Chain A
């Protein structure tokens, strides 16, 4: 698994889409009290589509990489897409199989869960 992990670490070091958005239409926050991961997701929405997305937060490599990749994926997609996303989709984006690693799956799902709770 270390090889896939290296990809995650690579993203984590310089995660795309990191940064605060002042004029966001959606601001969603999530936290995982067990490990102290915290993430805040910002979306700019126009005509029912995600026009821009960013996040801020602190956490493990998996949670940060997940936020980064999730927002990359959502850009240009319909807002309704968020509801349709599930853990399989997040693992696919991360290229990591966390099905036998439920505690780390939680880290991976944190950004998506934050967005879903906002709906």
Chain B
């Protein structure tokens, strides 16, 4: 994998911040976009912009083909069939779709829903609200001292088991296959939030055995505003639409309407066409580099970072880079994460600080906030060095 060549595809990496070349280490929040993705969107608007699934004219045919081609690329990328791929705006919407269309119909006061304390708010709040509305029981799996999911067997018998694949704070990669088996054997359905896993490793929903898999595009080189819900066909077919309106119907009469086939039943209104096309281009790009190689590169970078950081800061999550994605959350003892991030930013090193939309996890760890550096395919060891230098500077300023 030629990182220098990859870097050349990302115009933003040339940017200067406070007079320094940017070291973008906030990929967990959103990734940067390669020229190929940006160009695919420019091309769409310059050459064949038209609404999809409507006109019979040339432009509409072309945009429909491009939109559906993106769906095929997503399906192949995760080993699903095209009618199981629903385009949404982000992972939160994907999870809300499951919550409303499956949860509201099938849950009751006797139901159990299991999530974990390490969930991103996107996979936390919808289930909390569902449990409140249906008076169902909401249960939380804990994390152990290493930051790994604990007590998975307690999820057995739950009607819905919805867990994060890779934690956006601890980095921990959960054994999704095992999670889905526990859910299935206990008679429940499994929902996997893959927002932090799919940009960084190969995903195969068939092998995983999940009922639903939700992710967002913008963390995997695609634009914002496009996400995906994968759902098993037999479940999606039984579910009612989430949103009603244009494009999701076959027939509308004064008295009632008939819903469209999968996946269109769940895609009401004009969709994010440019977003889907951009996501398709992002997948082409990732495939060209190879997900296995990206994973290897991140393990190497993370091992390097963990080694350099372990004497400087308090690190959260597993110590073994192979058990986690390419991110590291940490605190400089005695210094608020925001102060760490501001001082790093002075030298063009961009990291995240706060609770990373995982407030219950921070409460559980007894933290107000944490700093997080998250890597991707274009990051280098030199950038990790700049992170470490920045942290040393923070310690000098706060000494």
Query: Which A residues are within 8 Å of any B CB, using their own CB?
Result: 1-2, 5-6, 9, 33-37, 58-62, 101, 103-104, 107
Contact = CB atoms under 8 A, between A and B. Distances in A.
Contact of A35 (B335, B337, B393, B397): B337
Contacts of B369: 35-36
A35 B336 CA distance: 9
B338 interface: yes
Contacts of A103: 338
A9 B355 CA distance: 22
Contact of B336 (A2, A61, A101): A61
A113 B378 CA distance: 41
B368 A58 contact: yes
A62 B339 contact: yes
B398 A9 contact: yes
Contacts of A60: 336-339
A117 to B, nearest CB: 21
B346 A1 contact: yes
Contact of A61 (B339, B346, B368): B339
B47 to A, nearest CB: 38
Given A36-B355, A36-B368, A58-B368, A101 B398 contact: no
Task: Describe B's contact surface by its main secondary structure.
Answer: helix
Contacts of A33: 359
A35 B346 contact: no
Given A5-B397, A9-B397, A107-B338, A35 B354 contact: yes
A2 B343 contact: yes
B46 to A, nearest CB: 33
B354 A34 contact: yes
Given A60-B336, A61-B335, 18 more contacts: A2-B343, A2-B346, A2-B393, A5-B343, A9-B339, A9-B397, A9-B398, A34-B354, A34-B355, A35-B337, A35-B338, A35-B353, A35-B354, A35-B355, A35-B368, A60-B339, A62-B338, A104-B338
B362 interface: yes
A36 B339 contact: no
B342 interface: yes
Contacts of B336: 35, 37, 59-61
Contacts of B354: 34-36
A89 B90 CA distance: 40
A62 B393 CA distance: 17
A6 B368 CA distance: 23
B19 to A, nearest CB: 11
15 contacts: A5-B397, A9-B397, A9-B398, A33-B359, A35-B336, A35-B337, A35-B368, A59-B336, A59-B368, A60-B336, A60-B337, A60-B339, A62-B339, A101-B342, A103-B338
